[in-house]
C-alpha cells in the first residue's frame, strides 16, 4: 500500500487533500450553524464531486486542481447553512391567500410571529374566513384583486398606516391562475391575456406600488413563479409564458434593487396539490369557451374527442402533485429570513433536475424527458389516419 501511494501522481494526492480540507471545513460550518435545506446541501457536495472527477479526467493536472479549488472556495461562501434573521414581528404581504400556497404560507408565517397581511380575492369567502378564525390577531385580511389598480392602491394605504415607521419587510407575489391546459394553438387569446393579467401584470403592479415600503425596511421581494416558468412544458403555453415573464422580471429586479439593499427571489415550485386547477364547473365553462373560439379547420384537425380528453389532464393532475407544501413554505421562509437568500428556489420533485436538463443538455434529451412526464398521451384526430401514420413512420 505504501509503495502504491509513493508511485501515485502527486496531483492525485493534492486533489484528495483539497477534498478532505473542504469536507472538514464544510462539516464544521454546518455543525456550527443551524443546518437548513439539507437536501440542497448534499446536492451541492455531489456537484462538487462530479466537478472534481471532470477536472481530473479532462484538464491538465494543475489547471484542473486550481479550478476545483476555486469551486470549493465559492461553494464554501455560499453553503446553504446561513444564520437566519429573527422574526421580530416583521410585516409581510402575501397575495392570493384564499387557498393553496398563499393560504398555507399566511398561516405558517402567522404561527412563527410575523405580522401577516393576507391579500384575498374574496374577503367574505371561505379561505378568508378560515384565516380570521384560525390565526392570531396580528394577521390582517385585505381585499386584494391584483388585477384591480384601485384595490392595490387601497391595500397600500391601509398597510402604510399600520407600518409607518418600520415599512414592509416582505412582499410575496403568490396570486396566480392556471387557465385551461391545452395545446397553444387551441387556447383563445383571452386565456393568454388573462394569464398575463394575473400572473405577470398584477404582480408587477403590486411590486411597483409597495416598493417604497420595502425600501424603508431594506426587505424582501419574493415572486412565486412555477416550474413551467423556467422550462417549456406542453399544454401550458399561456400559463408558462406568463410565469416566465414573472421570472425574468424577478431577475431584473434582483439586479436593480440590490443598490437599495432589497433582496429579490423567484420560487419555481414543481407540482404541488393546490386549488389552482379549478373546479369541474370551471373546466366545462372554459372548454365551451375554447370550442366556441376554434376555427372549423382547427376543430376538425384536433377533433372534439381530443379536446374532451384535455379534461382528463386536469382530473389526473392532483394525483401527480405533492400534497405536502412544506418544501415551498420552507424555501419562502428562507428567502424572507436568510442573511444571503438565493435568487432562485426550486422546491419539489424534479424541479431542479428538469431545469438542469433543459439548460445543460441537448434539447432532444430534454424533450424526451418531458415527454415521459406527460399525463395525457392522446393524439389529434388528423394524426390518427392511416396516411398520417405512414408519414410519421
pLDDT at site 1: 43
Residues 376-392, mean pLDDT to the nearest whole number? 68
pLDDT at site 312: 72
Residues 112-118, mean pLDDT to the nearest whole number? 97
pLDDT at site 173: 98
Name which residue leads in pLDDT, 147 or 305.
Answer: 147
pLDDT at site 393: 45
pLDDT-derived band at 7, boundaries 50, 70, 90: very low
pLDDT-derived band at 110, boundaries 50, 70, 90: very high
pLDDT digits (tens, 9 = 90+) for 272-330: 777 666 666 777 788 888 888 899 999 999 988 888 888 777 666 665 667 788 999 99
Is 50 exceeded by the pLDDT of residue 34? no
pLDDT at site 390: 52
Name which residue leads in pLDDT, 280 or 1.
Answer: 280
pLDDT-derived band at 87, boundaries 50, 70, 90: very high
Q: Which of 35-49, 75-89, 109-123, 296-310 has the lowest mean pLDDT?
A: 35-49
**Where in the chain are the domains?**
2-77, 91-373
pTM: 0.79
Name which residue leads in pLDDT, 290 or 146.
Answer: 146
Percentage of the chain beyond pLDDT 90 is 52
pLDDT digits (tens, 9 = 90+) for 193-227: 999 999 999 999 999 999 999 999 999 999 999 99
Is 60 exceeded by the pLDDT of residue 182? yes
Name which residue leads in pLDDT, 187 or 54.
Answer: 187
pLDDT at site 177: 93
pLDDT at site 82: 64
Q: Which residues are catalytic?
A: 239
Is 60 exceeded by the pLDDT of residue 12? yes
Torsion angle in degrees (nearest 10) through CA of 157, 158, 162, 165 = -10
Question: Which option is the CATH number for 91-373: 3.30.460.10, 3.40.720.10, 3.40.50.720, 3.30.450.20?
Answer: 3.40.50.720
pLDDT-derived band at 81, boundaries 50, 70, 90: low
pLDDT digits (tens, 9 = 90+) for 356-378: 888 888 899 888 888 776 656 67
Amino acid at each position: 500500500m505504501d509503495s502504491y501511494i509513493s508511485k501515485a501522481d502527486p496531483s492525485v494526492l493534492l486533489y484528495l487533500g483539497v477534498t478532505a480540507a473542504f469536507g472538514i471545513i464544510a462539516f464544521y460550518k454546518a455543525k456550527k450553524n443551524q443546518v437548513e435545506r439539507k437536501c440542497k446541501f448534499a446536492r451541492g457536495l455531489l456537484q462538487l464531486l462530479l466537478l472534481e472527477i471532470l477536472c481530473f479526467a479532462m484538464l491538465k493536472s494543475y489547471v484542473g486542481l486550481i479550478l476545483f479549488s476555486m469551486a470549493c472556495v465559492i461553494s464554501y461562501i455560499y453553503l446553504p447553512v446561513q444564520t437566519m434573521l429573527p422574526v421580530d414581528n416583521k410585516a409581510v404581504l402575501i397575495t392570493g391567500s384564499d387557498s393553496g400556497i398563499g393560504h398555507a404560507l399566511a398561516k405558517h408565517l402567522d404561527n412563527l410571529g410575523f405580522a401577516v397581511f393576507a391579500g384575498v380575492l374574496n374577503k367574505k369567502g371561505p379561505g378568508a374566513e378560515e384565516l380570521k378564525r384560525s390565526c392570531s390577531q396580528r394577521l390582517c385580511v385585505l381585499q386584494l384583486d391584483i388585477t384591480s389598480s384601485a384595490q392595490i392602491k387601497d391595500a397600500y394605504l391601509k398597510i402604510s398606516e399600520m407600518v409607518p415607521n418600520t415599512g414592509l419587510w416582505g412582499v410575496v407575489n403568490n396570486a396566480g391562475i392556471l387557465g385551461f391546459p391545452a395545446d397553444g394553438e387551441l387556447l383563445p387569446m383571452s386565456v393568454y391575456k388573462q394569464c398575463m393579467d394575473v400572473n405577470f401584470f398584477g404582480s408587477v403592479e403590486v411590486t411597483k406600488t409597495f416598493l417604497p415600503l420595502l425600501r424603508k425596511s431594506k426587505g424582501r421581494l419574493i415572486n412565486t413563479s412555477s416550474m413551467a416558468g423556467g422550462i417549456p412544458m406542453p399544454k401550458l403555453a399561456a400559463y408558462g409564458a406568463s410565469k416566465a415573464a414573472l421570472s425574468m422580471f424577478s431577475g431584473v429586479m434582483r439586479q436593480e434593487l440590490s443598490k437599495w439593499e432589497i433582496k429579490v427571489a423567484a420560487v419555481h415550485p414543481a407540482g404541488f396539490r393546490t386549488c389552482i386547477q379549478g373546479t369541474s364547473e370551471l373546466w366545462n365553462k372554459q372548454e365551451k369557451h375554447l370550442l366556441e373560439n376554434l376555427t372549423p379547420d382547427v376543430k376538425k384537425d384536433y377533433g372534439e374527442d381530443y379536446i374532451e380528453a384535455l379534461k382528463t389532464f386536469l382530473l389526473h393532475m392532483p394525483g401527480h402533485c405533492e400534497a405536502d407544501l412544506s418544501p415551498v413554505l420552507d424555501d419562502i421562509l428562507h428567502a424572507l429570513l436568510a442573511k444571503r437568500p438565493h435568487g432562485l428556489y426550486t422546491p419539489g420533485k424534479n424541479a431542479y433536475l428538469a431545469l438542469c436538463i433543459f439548460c445543460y443538455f441537448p434539447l432532444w434529451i430534454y424533450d424526451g424527458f418531458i415527454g415521459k412526464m406527460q399525463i395525457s398521451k392522446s393524439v389529434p384526430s388528423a394524426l390518427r389516419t392511416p396516411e398520417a401514420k405512414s408519414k410519421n413512420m
